[in-house]
């Protein structure tokens, strides 16, 4: 696996470069947007990315060696499954609080809370106590929820309410962040591998490196973001007219009332529109399986002594290749629709898990085939996320999107938790371990969930096959999805 992983990494980098260059040639050059020539906006965008990318970098550093660290501390696979379940459960239970905190505590302060909570989470990895590590997973769940909400809340508020930039400029910032995010993920695997294996510092080293990164992020928030707020002066909170309470409503707890009303309206939108419900089913099934994959990839490959950091970089490079492939396939040259690419991604993921049910037979593991299946799954993820993001933007009303996506995440995390608990039960009941029957059965269950997701995708586009809103403008009129 050592040679295989390094050869795969070089080939994937070449593939990413080739796909990126081909995609840039296939996508027609667009007129330069006003946003890119506005120095005030560019400065504000750079200020935001300086803090946000440091937070993302610290998050990615913890990916390659989390499972390995728990095994290094001699915990059983069933015990590690419970640790992962606690992290996922905390995401579910603390997600409403993470969405509410920016309004109650303040957006920048909530981002600072993320830095503090995630630093404490990383420091708990120094302890061999199971309960300390359990507490660290709860802090990690809170931090993950804050990373997904607080930074975006600060940026959107300052962009619209303080600087009064056009709303159409917001996607350019997050597109730029997404481009950096892929590179950060690949680099994080290399750096983690350098610390843990090449320098021999052990699997806890990447977590310790994340702490100064989070400290640097906090310093940017205090000094630069704070200076930006002071220069612009204190701002009065402007409640959205879509969430504002009627004039006759009592003033008690307006923030909590708006939040509760937003959640209920999101639930009504989810239940009243079959397209939204089907899209939520696809997202819950597909992404819950990814959480299970995050738990299982290390115990499947680690017994064969691969460099886990390099393996992680390979997986992230495969995802980057999928993202470039999406841009290329949806360009005017090839004219594939997001719906078609979503079907392709789910089908590819199903095939990957189908392969894994045969490559993880107890007593007859085939790590090379498992590694290939994992790469195909990450390639599917690179296709899936831009496709589902496009469809969310077209199917879910903008004023309800945040609340609806919050409801999407509830079954998503619940399915992931149930899957890991089922694996914990199999391992505890049979005495199996890495590469045992429990792992193979879990991959079979994931394949069944992907098949259900594929049926939901087909139902969605059978229902909406003549809906022009679900088509890219540049290729409308070229046939049905």
DSSP 256-320: HHHHHHHHHHHHHHHHH-HHHHHHHHHHHHHHHHHHHHHHHHHHHHGGG---HHHHHHHHHHHHH
Q: Quote the CA–CA distance of 210 and 124 in Å, as a whole number.
A: 12
Terminal C-alpha separation, the chain = 41
Residue 426: is its pLDDT beyond 80?
Answer: no
The token duo for 212 is 């100064």
Q: Which of 75-84, 108-117, 149-158, 397-406 is least confident?
A: 397-406
Instruction: Write down the pLDDT at residue 344.
Output: 94
Please compute the mean of the pLDDT values over residues 89-118 and round it to a whole number: 87
Is-contact 206 191, C-beta < 8 A?
A: yes
> How far is residue 153 from each of residues 107, 182, 444, measured CA to CA in Å?
7, 22, 39
Instruction: Write down the pLDDT at residue 351.
Output: 95
DSSP secondary structure code for residue 400 in this structure: G
pLDDT in tens, 278-292: 888 898 899 999 988
* Total count of residues recorded for the chain: 481
pLDDT in tens, 365-404: 899 999 999 999 999 999 999 999 888 888 877 666 667 7
- Percent of the chain surpassing pLDDT 70: 82
Q: Quote the CA–CA distance of 119 and 147 in Å, as a whole number.
A: 13
pLDDT in tens, 319-365: 999 999 998 998 878 888 888 899 999 999 999 999 999 998 888 88
**Closest among 420, 311, 453, 418 to 370, alpha carbons compared:** 311
pLDDT in tens, 123-151: 999 999 999 999 999 999 999 989 988 89
Instruction: Write down the pLDDT at residue 382.
Output: 93
Residue 90: is its pLDDT beyond 80?
Answer: yes
Instruction: Tell me the HSE value of 449 on the side-chain side, using a 13 A CA sphere.
Output: 26
CB contact set of 64 (below 8 Å; sequence gap of 6+): 188, 189, 192, 193, 196, 206, 308, 309, 311, 312
Instruction: Write down the pLDDT at residue 262.
Output: 64
Is-contact 313 374, C-beta < 8 A?
A: no
Q: Which of 197-201, 333-337, 464-468 is least confident?
A: 464-468
């Amino acid at each position: 696996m050592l040679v295989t992983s390094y050869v795969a990494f070089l080939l994937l980098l070449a593939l990413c470069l080739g796909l990126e260059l081909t995609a840039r040639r296939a996508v027609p050059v667009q007129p330069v947007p006003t946003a890119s020539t506005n120095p005030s906006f560019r400065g504000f965008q750079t200020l935001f990315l300086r803090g946000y990318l440091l937070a993302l970098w610290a998050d990615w550093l913890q990916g390659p060696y989390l499972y390995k660290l728990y095994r290094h501390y001699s915990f059983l696979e069933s015990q590690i499954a419970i640790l992962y379940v606690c992290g996922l459960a905390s995401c579910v239970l603390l997600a409403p609080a993470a969405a509410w905190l920016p309004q109650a505590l303040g957006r920048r302060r909530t981002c600072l809370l993320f830095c503090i909570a995630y630093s404490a989470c990383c420091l708990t990895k120094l302890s061999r106590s199971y309960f300390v590590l359990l507490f660290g997973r709860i802090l990690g769940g809170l931090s993950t929820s804050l990373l997904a909400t607080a930074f975006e809340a600060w940026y959107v508020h300052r962009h619209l309410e303080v600087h009064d930039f056009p709303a159409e400029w917001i996607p350019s910032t997050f597109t730029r962040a997404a481009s950096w995010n892929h590179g950060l993920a690949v680099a994080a695997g290399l750096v983690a591998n350098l610390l843990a294996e090449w320098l021999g510092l052990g699997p806890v080293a990447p977590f310790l490196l994340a702490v100064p990164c989070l400290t640097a992020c906090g310093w940017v928030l205090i000094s630069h973001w704070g200076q930006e707020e002071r220069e612009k002066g204190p701002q009065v909170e402007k409640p959205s007219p879509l969430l504002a309470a009627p004039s006759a409503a009592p003033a008690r707890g307006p923030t909590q009332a708006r939040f509760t009303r937003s959640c209920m309206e999101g639930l009504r939108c989810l239940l009243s529109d079959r397209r939204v419900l089907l899209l939520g089913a696809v997202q819950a099934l597909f992404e819950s399986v990814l959480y299970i994959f995050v738990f299982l990839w290390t115990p499947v490959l680690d017994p064969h002594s691969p460099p886990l950091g390099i393996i992680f970089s390979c997986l992230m490079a495969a995802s980057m290749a999928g993202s470039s492939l999406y841009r290329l396939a949806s360009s005017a040259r090839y004219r594939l629709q997001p719906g078609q690419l979503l079907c392709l991604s789910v089908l590819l993921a199903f095939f990957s898990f189908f392969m894994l049910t045969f490559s993880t037979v107890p007593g007859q593991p085939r790590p090379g085939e498992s590694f290939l299946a994992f790469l195909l799954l990450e390639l599917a993820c690179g296709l899936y996320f831009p496709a589902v993001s496009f469809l969310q933007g077209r199917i879910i009303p903008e004023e309800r999107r945040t609340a609806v996506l919050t409801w999407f995440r509830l079954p998503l995390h619940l399915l992931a938790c149930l899957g890991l608990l089922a694996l914990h039960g199999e391992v505890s009941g049979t005495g199996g371990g890495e590469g045992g029957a429990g792992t193979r059965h879990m991959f079979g269950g994931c394949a069944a969930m992907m098949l259900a997701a594929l049926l939901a995708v087909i139902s969605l586009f059978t229902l909406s096959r003549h809906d022009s809103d679900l088509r890219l403008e540049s290729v409308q009129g070229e046939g049905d999805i």
